[in-house]
């Protein structure tokens, strides 16, 4: 019976981390192959070649980067010209984003690994204790402990998704606008059209308090650009530096929340499992005396 439990536990953990689509979809982990595919596409793309209407179908989808690249391709088809500098900038930003996702993925996997180790230690203790005392406990009692721990681990991806959305959703939206503005700065469009393509109107949906100053500065920059027709490149550079600082701070907050989550899971789902098992064990030993 112990081998069956071990097999189920280990198989579930491996599938959960490596292939979450086979169980409950884990939206927190962005699969890095999409980013790699897009970077490879950018490396292979040549403005000197003929840009046909089918090129966008070959473009890998990755976050908002694909949308910005599609805009550049569409404008190139309509208005002519090449925007290699913009693609190089997007590629550099994409590499930074991939590093961030890799760091995030490693952090999340570390949490799953720690929870998995706790499951293995718990059941190792349970089966070792049963072997030492040479006692059989009702299977329904063991299943009760197993499903209690499973419910705790099952809540983990939803908690992680909630906190990731809380700390990084608005930051991602702001990055999309800033990178779009930067990429479209060399395109021969009116400033109104550039701001529309970049989705500046979506700034009003950003509600996070820590981003209020950056949003306010960006609105002011866009207003000056529309009113006086000035360049916004220098302002964007400073705003992106500020956003990187806020993103780093949010990541530290996210890590602290992970520590709290781990503590709660250990306190509520794993430590009680030991105590409940000892209670069941002592209860059955008492009946034998």
* pLDDT recorded at residue 10: 58
- Tell me the C-alpha distance between 36 and 285, whole Å: 58
Interval 205-224: pLDDT, tens = 998 899 999 999 999 999 99
* pLDDT recorded at residue 44: 82
Q: What are the DSSP calls for 222-257, one per residue?
A: HHHHHHH----HHHHHHHHHHHHHHHHHHHHHHHHH
Model pTM?
A: 0.78
Interval 64-92: pLDDT, tens = 898 888 888 888 887 776 778 888 889 89
Q: What are the DSSP calls for 129-172, one per residue?
A: HHHHHT-PPPHHHHHHHHHHHHHHHHHHHHHHHHHHHHHHHHHH
* pLDDT recorded at residue 25: 46
Interval 183-203: pLDDT, tens = 888 888 888 988 998 999 999
User: What mean pLDDT is predicted for residues 149-175?
Assistant: 91
| Every domain of the chain and the residues it spans | 2-288
Mean pLDDT lowest for which of 7-11, 87-91, 260-264?
7-11
Interval 14-49: pLDDT, tens = 555 555 444 444 444 444 478 888 888 888 887 665
- Tell me the C-alpha distance between 209 and 258, whole Å: 21
Do the Cβ atoms of 118 and 270 come closer than 8 Å? yes
For residue 121, name the pLDDT band (cuts at 50, 70, 90): confident
* pLDDT recorded at residue 141: 85
* pLDDT recorded at residue 289: 57
For residue 174, name the pLDDT band (cuts at 50, 70, 90): very high
Q: Mean of the per-residue pLDDT values for the chain?
A: 82
Angle at 45 between CA 187 and CA 237, to 5 degrees: 45
């Amino acid at each position: 019976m112990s081998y069956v439990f071990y097999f189920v536990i280990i198989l579930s953990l491996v599938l959960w981390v490596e292939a979450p689509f086979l169980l409950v979809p884990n939206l927190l982990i962005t699969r890095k192959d999409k980013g790699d595919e897009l970077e490879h596409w950018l490396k292979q793309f040549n403005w000197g070649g003929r840009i046909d209407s089918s090129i966008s179908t070959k473009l890998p989808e990755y976050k908002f980067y694909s949308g910005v690249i599609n805009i550049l391709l569409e404008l190139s088809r309509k208005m002519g010209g090449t925007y290699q500098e913009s693609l190089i900038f997007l590629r550099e930003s994409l590499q930074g984003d991939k590093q961030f996702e890799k760091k995030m993925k490693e952090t999340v996997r570390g949490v799953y690994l720690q929870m998995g180790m706790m499951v293995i230690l718990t059941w190792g203790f349970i089966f070792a204790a049963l072997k030492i005392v040479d006692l059989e406990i009702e299977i329904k009692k063991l299943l009760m402990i197993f499903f209690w721990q499973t419910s705790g681990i099952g809540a983990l991806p939803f908690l992680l998704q909630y906190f990731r959305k809380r700390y990084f959703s608005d930051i991602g939206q702001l990055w999309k606008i800033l990178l779009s503005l930067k990429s479209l700065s060399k395109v021969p469009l009116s400033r109104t059209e550039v701001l529309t393509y970049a989705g500046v109107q979506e700034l009003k949906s950003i509600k996070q308090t820590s981003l209020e100053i950056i949003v306010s500065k960006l609105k002011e920059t866009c207003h000056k650009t529309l009113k006086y027709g000035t360049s916004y490149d220098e302002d964007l550079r400073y705003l992106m530096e500020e956003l990187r600082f806020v993103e780093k701070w949010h990541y530290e907050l996210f890590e602290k929340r992970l520590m709290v989550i781990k503590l709660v899971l250990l306190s509520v789902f794993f430590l009680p499992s030991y105590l409940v098992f000892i209670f069941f064990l002592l209860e059955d030993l008492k009946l034998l005396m």
